[in-house]
Structure 1
Amino acid sequence: MYVVSPSTPRSAGAHMLPTLYNVRFSLSYLPSLRPRRVCHHPERSDSCVTSPPIATTRKPLFTILVACTANICRSPLAAFSLEQRLRPAGPDGLFAVTSAGTRARPGDRICPCVGEELASDHAGRRYAHGHTSRRVTEAMIEAADLILLPDFENRTRIALLDPVARHRSFTLREADRLLASLAAEGLPPLRDVVPVMHAIRSRAAMSAGSRRWLQLRRPSDGLDILDGHNLGSRRHRRTVRDVGLTSSSIAARLEESALVDRV
């Protein structure tokens, strides 16, 4: 406890003044306590006005990450198909779609087969010309509301990067069948559609395995769209076609779910 003796009042006051001055000086220059002012005419003080708060970038309501192995064939095509269908449904930034690869080499160009598939459309040609592969990051996974993969192998890789993401990760065919099942009963609002899909996930597996009742079933039976690069040109074209059709079907269901939110 500091005690000021009557014999030394001036020295005690002199000792405290610098401390008080420093506190007042530091408070006066805290950015959070001083409004930002903009002067159009520095020579006139009445022309200074307080600027409005800087607007922050709003996160889209629903973010979709599509990931395959190399990010040159299945995932970029699926992302393009989703984006083309969902863009009219979300002019205010309702949807955001991106793609990446679990084992991608950054900078690789899109595969020629997908380039041919997109060549008939101006937007498709521009997309194919501008696309370069990139690798999946944990930040991409964390930001995604829905993660779509062409096969269970890549779904497992996503789960290894972020175990929590398995509740938001589906193969393309799995998501398509689950959304079709929900549509028959009435799609939930967009904010609830992924949790509901996860809750009824077994329906897709049962539907896919029903045609193989005489054989040993695996969870991935009927739910994978395999990489066609090593399966011949005919199978490759079939892969590209399946990815495009399945992605467009998913986009249509998500568009319907988004409309439920607005009712």
Structure 2
Amino acid sequence: MSIVSTGVLAVCRANVCRSPLAEFRLQHELPAAFGVEGLRVDSAGTETVSGAKICAEVYRRLMPADGAAFAAKHVAAQLDAQRIDDAGLILTMTTAARGSVGAIAPSARAKTFTLVEAVGLLSLEPSVAELDVLAANADPVAAVAAVLNGRRGLLGDGPKFSRSTRRVTDGLDVLDAHTDRGARHGDVLQAVDELTAVLVRDIGVLTALTPR
């Protein structure tokens, strides 16, 4: 397995619910999908409260998955230029958060996608040119981001989601159970679980097609 220098960053509003859950899922599953060791997965929020801990619903969800230690030590982290610069791929929960990334670091727009958007773009069949991009880049995280950036505007209908996920997605956004009326916590967390699982699966498929 190769070592990559860039990481993956998950971003939501408060960094107490959606993005830390995505961080936990991805840090356990993405290294194998990318075929790398030492892959850093982090999370941050665009409007955090200093010292805020992970929400109780996420804590309860992570306990059966050996995530109690992760949940107990998590403290909300504010999105900043350094975290953006350290990431080769940035996954936001909403288009508003995607815009916040671009406002801090305009050049990061090319590597920033909503989670729904990334899953939809990954569902497209890869072209020979895209496989060449993946093969030519020593950093598979940055290579996947480059492929997704080249697919912008090609999303179409995207993948089909479960009923619970459809209830808490709006366009390219995963709704915020803390602020969006009618967005049930359980459905939001299930949506993050479902979307991250599909993302990991499709990144694994894409990287497996890449000659090394």
Normalising by structure 1, what TM-score? Answer: 0.65
Change (3 A) 1:171 1:231: same
One of 196, 203, 211 as aligned partner of 2:147: 196
Match for 1:80: what amino acid?
F
Change (3 A) 1:120 1:192: same
Name the residue aligned to 1:229. 178
1:84 has 2:33 as partner: no
Change (3 A) 1:182 1:104: farther
Aligned equivalents of 1:196, 1:86: Cα separation in 2? 17
Change (3 A) 1:164 1:254: same
Change (3 A) 1:207 1:234: closer
1:117 has 2:65 as partner: no
Larger Rg over CA atoms: 1
Unaligned runs of 5+ in 1: 1-57, 209-219
What is the Cα deviation at residue 262 of structure 1?
5.9
Deviations 1:137-192 (A, max 9, x none): 10111121110000101111111101111111100010001011146x58733353
1:137 has 2:80 as partner: yes
Matched residues, percent identical? 30
Q: Structure 2 matches for 1:66-215, cutoff 5 A?
A: 66-89=10-33, 90=35, 92-93=37-38, 95-122=39-66, 124-182=67-125, 188=131, 189=134, 190=140, 191-204=142-155, 206-207=156-157
Name the residue aligned to 2:196. 247
- In 1, are the aligned partners of 2:14 and 2:48 still within 8 Å (CA)? yes
- In 1, are the aligned partners of 2:3 and 2:37 still within 8 Å (CA)? no
Match for 2:18: what amino acid?
R
Aligned equivalents of 2:145, 2:183: Cα separation in 1? 34
Aligned equivalents of 1:137, 1:231: Cα separation in 2? 25
Match for 1:92: what amino acid?
E
**Larger RCO, structures 1/2 (Cα 8 Å, 6+ apart):** 2
Aligned equivalents of 1:62, 1:253: Cα separation in 2? 19
What is the Cα deviation at residue 250 of structure 1?
1.0
Match for 1:177: what amino acid?
G
Match for 2:59: what amino acid?
G
Please state whether the residue corresponding to 2:185 is helix, strand or coil.
Answer: helix
Aligned equivalents of 1:64, 1:182: Cα separation in 2? 23
Match for 2:185: what amino acid?
H
Unaligned runs of 5+ in 2: 135-139, 159-168
Change (3 A) 1:197 1:154: same
Deviations 1:23-48 (A, max 9, x none): xxxxxxxxxxxxxxxxxxxxxxxxxx
Count residues with an aligned counterpart.
191
Match for 1:251: what amino acid?
V
Change (3 A) 1:59 1:160: farther
What is the Cα deviation at residue 234 of structure 1?
6.3
